[in-house]
Amino acid sequence: MELFAEMLSIVGALVFSVSCGVLVEELLFGGLVRLFLARRPATGGSTERKEGMEGERPCLR
């Protein structure tokens, strides 16, 4: 019975340490990936065509 309790505590410690590692990894790297892949707000000019300019080509700058 003592061997069973010792094995159970070893398995519990291993599962606990692995779950803590996965949690920290998700918080760090999951947050970094979400930060890097977040949509950036639109900057400056719009590329939409305006009414009445169907025949004209847009000016590229």
The pLDDT of residue 2 is: 93
Q: Quick: pLDDT tens for 14-56.
A: 999 999 999 999 888 887 777 777 777 777 655 555 555 566 6
The pLDDT of residue 17 is: 97
The pLDDT of residue 7 is: 97
Please calculate the CA angle 57-52-58 and round it to the nearest 5 degrees: 20
When pLDDT is cut at 50, 70 and 90, the band that residue 9 belongs to is very high
Q: 33 and 25 in contact (C-beta within 8 Å)?
A: no
The pLDDT of residue 27 is: 86
The pLDDT of residue 33 is: 72
Q: How far apart are the C-alpha atoms of 45 and 60, rounded to whole Å?
A: 11
